[in-house]
Structure 1
Amino acid sequence: MFLKKSLLYIITQSEFGGAQSNVLDLIKGFQQEYNVHLATSTEGSLTESIAAINVPVHLLPNLIRSINLFHDYLAIKECISLIKEIKPDLIHAHSSKAGLIARVAGWICKVPVVFTAHGWGFSPGNPAIRRWIVLLSEKLAAPLAKKIICVSETNRHLALGLGVSNQNSLVTVHNGINDIPVSLANPAHQPARLIMVARFNEPKDQATLLKAIAQLSDQSIHLDLVGSGSAWESCKDLAKSLGIQDQVSFLGDRADVPQLLAQSQIFILCTHYEGLPISILEAMRAGLPVIATKVNGIPEEVEHGKTGLLVPDKDVKEVAKALSTLIESPDLRQQMGEAGRQKFLEEFTIERMIDETRTVYEQVLKQ
């Protein structure tokens, strides 16, 4: 009788974001091929979704996001105990802290680890001290992983250039998402409704978008901001101080994002640094033109002038200019939305991501 191998996914936080969405898709994709387990710090949106598909969830209470040597030591011990309990054949870690803890615990237990870097903490745009600390820790931890998956070619080249691991260990697997049966958007509809889907904390930059909206004279446009986080209240105060509170809806966390995208005409993501944002893929899937900050892997998703417009980081004037261009041209929005939808179908499907990840797993398990 053929026995399925066991696969343990580890991620720091269970609040829903791009990395958590990626983990959920991977678990669903490999649930039939492996005995899959998930480990994370606390219960949340991700653990609820995982429990609903009957995948075991394990909590590591000391796996916290911030640097704390005492908690990190305890998290390693918790992770080692879990590895000894479920005896995985392979560990796949996501997010920086879980990546460090899992690599150390896996090395101690002699279990191979794959680490996905959804965005490097040493990327330009991060605070200088953080970049130095993260770069040092990643250089030290890199040899403990059999493979390091980068979600964009930009991030892979950044790691190689800074001496984090090598050509054999670093591999690019672009994020992919399901092509769910939801109505496509009508980008040409007037007046244009704008939407940004992102957490209200670093590295996202809703403030720049709000300031750009305030520079536009078209009072008929409306912006939906989906998400929650530490900067939510300050952004609401900013909208009020700019006199645009009636043009902006703060929708909080929503379970109907695909439907909200289908009702919109332009998607925006202002951000300081990224890996390969899933929110942009969701907008492309919906057939929306995208305005996004030109950082890290975003230009691998958004083709400037073809599927959307790329703008410099923190540049209020250029964001406003890009918004005006698309707001005033329904035909251009339609063309870009259709091109983005086609690019999604060709390059960013979940089937492609699962196939490429499976190849990584097979290579590691054969070593």
Structure 2
Amino acid sequence: MRIAFIVGTPPKKLGSLEQWVLGVCAEALRRGHTLDLFTLLPVHPVVQQELDRLGVGFGSIESLRAAPVAAARRLASYDLLYANMLPPRSKVAFSCYAAWPAPLVFVEHCGDISTPVAPLRRYLSRALDQVTLLRVNELVGVSEYVRGRDVERFGLDARCTRVIYNGVDPGRFTTEKTPNPNGALRMICVSQLIPEKGIDVLLRAMTLTRAQDCTLRVVGYGRMEEPYKALVRELGLEKRVEFLGMRDDVHLLLRDAEACVHTPILEEAFGLAITEGMVSGCGVIATRSGGIPEIIDDGVNGLLVPKGDVAALASAIDTLAFDPALRARLGAEGRRKVERAFTLSRCISEHVDCMEQVASERRSAPVRLRPAPEAAARPAFSVSTVPAQVGPQGVPADTVSPRD
């Protein structure tokens, strides 16, 4: 089978996203398929070296975008198109729709931002949604939240959808922590620096904590970096908050943290940074949004707070700061949850399983109006085990829409 694996974000770090991309490529090749990868540029040199070593063909999404008609003809020659992180009405997405007869899987990683919309625009958008994915054989959501949202939004037959949770490699992370001489709570936040991720909420919460010696390291990049640094100065947090930028060694930085905080104000699709914190034995605090409650069982393997609630977030930080035993318990249970449900090997295997199943079925009219409720069960599919993949940990790229 010839597969076009399309990933609408640049693999420009050495992180969990890049591990997943390389792992899917390696597993597809191991099963005897041919695979070409299309991503945004730039590509990290180490990632490119591994692609070359594996024998993976490569093309840029920029080249598809520049010549959409030629792109559709090129994509039509594949036995399967496996599209990730593409806005469903983007130019590249339309090239995929036009690439008949290649079966198409649309993998949805995007969170949901609720913004007021005028009634007429809402009606027209709804009408377009009903026809946008008519050429899609299967829709994969990275959480039940995403799958349910898109079944409703696009009027999908739920039998043509499934959930494949994101995964991390537990072997890349350790629960051992570096010594903490003064005992103050060390926090880390791994995130895109965009408004939807709620970093400003976290900074304001730090001014309300009783634990005024707790510190925060912010790892990531984005258009809000300078405004957030200005807010740190305005709030007088210069000695407590550090911005580290884009890093390839987040798996090592997590050793220097007892708490991992993730506070999006959008409906988060999944929360890869949360699973990275959990598998590192951190006490995790996150907002109750989107697919996050599917990862965190509140009070068992992490703490959930309402979106945008500064006071509740400050209280949760104090809870972890003054209760080391609770931190340790949450961290241990968090690692167990990841090892049980969110491993990278499981994630990779399920994605390649999906590729093989859809290509073999080659449904001619895959996405239909929603059936009667009793017929809307999601099909079961097998999960095999693959070896742990290469590459250290990181965070998703800052793309057009917040994705995780």
Q: What is the TM-score of this pair, normalised by structure 1?
A: 0.86
Q: Which moved more, 1:317-326 or 1:163-172?
A: 163-172
Task: Report deviation, 1:360.
Answer: 1.7
- Structure 1 residue 126 corresponds to structure 2 residue 114: yes
Selected match of 2:224 from 206, 228, 231 = 231
Q: CA RMSD in A?
A: 2.7
Q: Comparing both chains, which one has the higher relative contact order based on Cα–Cα distances under 8 Å and sequence gaps of 6 or more?
A: 2
Amino acid at match of 2:255: A
User: Which residue pairs with 1:97 in the alignment?
Assistant: 87
CA distance in 2, matches of 1:180, 1:126: 37
Q: Which moved more, 1:18-27 or 1:240-249?
A: 18-27
Task: Report deviation, 1:163.
Answer: 4.4
Deviations 1:19-41, CA, capped at 9 Å, x for gaps: 66643442243232322211123
Q: Which moved more, 1:100-109 or 1:26-35?
A: 100-109
- Structure 1 residue 274 corresponds to structure 2 residue 272: no
User: Which residue pairs with 1:66 in the alignment?
Assistant: none
User: Which residue pairs with 1:364 in the alignment?
Assistant: 358
> How many residues are treated as equivalent by the alignment?
348
User: Which residue pairs with 1:38 in the alignment?
Assistant: 37
CA distance in 1, matches of 2:74, 2:243: 40
Deviations 1:8-64, CA, capped at 9 Å, x for gaps: 11122315587666434422432323222111233244x75144331322123266x
CA distance in 1, matches of 2:116, 2:79: 38
CA distance in 2, matches of 1:216, 1:249: 17
User: Which residue pairs with 1:69 in the alignment?
Assistant: none
User: Which residue pairs with 1:302 in the alignment?
Assistant: 296
CA distance in 2, matches of 1:77, 1:203: 34
SS at 1:143's partner residue? coil
**Alignment CA distance shift 1:103-1:231 (3 Å):** closer
Selected match of 1:12 from 8, 26, 49 = 8
Amino acid at match of 1:104: F
SS at 2:227's partner residue? helix
Contact persistence 1:91–1:111 (CA under 8 A)? yes
Q: Which moved more, 1:192-201 or 1:131-140?
A: 131-140
User: Which residue pairs with 2:238 in the alignment?
Assistant: 245
User: Which residue pairs with 2:393 in the alignment?
Assistant: none
| Long gaps (5+) in structure 2 | 362-404
Map 1:1-367; keep pairs closer than 5 Å: 5-14=1-10, 22-33=20-31, 34-45=33-44, 49-54=47-52, 55-61=56-62, 74=66, 76-83=68-75, 87-97=77-87, 100-101=90-91, 103-109=93-99, 110-120=101-111, 123=112, 125-129=113-117, 132=122, 137-186=128-177, 190-272=183-265, 273-367=267-361
SS at 2:239's partner residue? helix
Task: Report deviation, 1:185.
Answer: 3.8
Contact persistence 1:194–1:266 (CA under 8 A)? yes
CA distance in 2, matches of 1:208, 1:161: 30
| Long gaps (5+) in structure 1 | 64-71
Query: Structure 1 vs Structure 2: percent identity of aligned residues?
Result: 26
Amino acid at match of 1:79: A
